[in-house]
Amino acid sequence: MASQDWFEKDFYAVLGVASDADANAIKKAYRKLAREYHPDSKPGDAAAEKRFKEIGEAYAVLSDAEQRKQYDAIRAMRSGGPRFTAGGPGGGGNAGFEDIFSNLFGQGGAQGDPRFGTPGGQPGGRAYAGEAPDLEDLLSMFGQQAGHGGAGGGFAGTRDRAGSYGGARRAPRKGRDVHATATMSFRQAVMGDTVRVNGVGGKPITARIPSGVKDGATIRLAGKGEPAMTAGAPAGDLLLKISVNPHSVFTRDGDNLVVDLPVTFAEAALGATVAVPTLDGTNVKVKIAPGTPSGRTLRVKGRGVPKKDGAGDLLARVLVQVPQRLDEASKAAVETLQRADAGHDPRAEVFRKARSD
């Protein structure tokens, strides 16, 4: 997304968070809204799809520390926080942000939208007719203003068509990187898949996402950013941030997949062989040893997240189910077990450790 668009957008309002919200609060708000407005949840709803894109755009900026810092600085400029000294003809009075855009893009720029001034041959104006503002140019000029000091110092030179100040030739400049977000299902992220996103100018881009990508990871697509500012320089890159929706059964522990495995009291006490689901839709068999306690983890090798050098494991966490309703025969059997356990306190070790540690 071009930085100049940030002037008109309140990403904090889009996500419904305060401007001083921490990263966890921003992520939590994004996930809630993404689930609510995801196209799969509201098929055919154009308004929901537009809202979903706005939510993804806001999260891409606010979840990146460097982008958020730049965005907050721009918001401060927009609200009238910083003031700057305007040089050039007419003296050195205080000038607001719109005046700076007027100086950058022509004397008539302040009368319309400052982002799209077309000064052409206006004196002191930028020679790129119709080109949108460059935030990096703007900030670098602020730096030159500060470096020369004084209320009437003005900016250090004007930029010519070759991209130089005061006649000094600049080296070829790479195009600006742009940012986008893509939301994937848990299975897509683990197994790998292709996604389709909008690049510069809304041009669709298909990107291959490797297996095992994690929530919050950024994929760099070389040369898919904005065109170079000068001839002979490469285009910028597209930085694609991945958001992974949670799964209702599986979670990740590094390259391992974790699943809770319910077993009956009888299976845990007497032992059994039971089926465990896998992410690819099949199942594998695991052996429950007699006397297996609730919480024990059983490992199935190679059925986790695919990797170049193999795959992670599937971890099945045993959860013993306590019977909710007992008939007379079952109740009598449990009472027999209770009598057999008479005198055994399963909590004795816990109390011993509580007193000694």
Domain with CATH 2.60.260.20 in the chain: 173-246, 250-326
What pLDDT, on a 0 to 100 scale, did the predictor assign at position 257? 97
How confident is the model at residue 60, as a pLDDT?
87
List the structure tokens of 239. 């930085």
What radius of gyration do the chain's Cα atoms show?
31
pLDDT-derived band at 256, boundaries 50, 70, 90: very high
Q: Is it true that domain 173-246 has CATH number 2.60.260.20?
A: yes
Hey, which of 58-67, 152-161, 253-262 has the most confident mean pLDDT? 253-262
Among 102, 81, 78, 99, CA closest to 9:
78
Output the pLDDT for position 260. Answer: 96
**CA gap 250, 247 in Å, rounded:** 6
Residue range 308-334: mean pLDDT, rounded: 91
pLDDT digits (tens, 9 = 90+) for 205-218: 999 999 999 999 99
Contacts 24+ apart (CB under 8 A), 205-209: 205/238, 207/182, 207/240, 209/182, 209/184, 209/242
Phi then psi for 351, rounded to 5 degrees? -65, -35
Specify the residue for token string 């809630």: 32
CATH class as words, domain 250-326: mainly beta
The band of 277, judged by pLDDT with boundaries at 50, 70 and 90, is: very high
| Predicted TM-score of the model (pTM) | 0.51
| Short-list 215, 213, 176, CA closest to 23 | 215
Report the side by side order of strands in the sheet with 238-244: 178-184, 238-244, 218-221
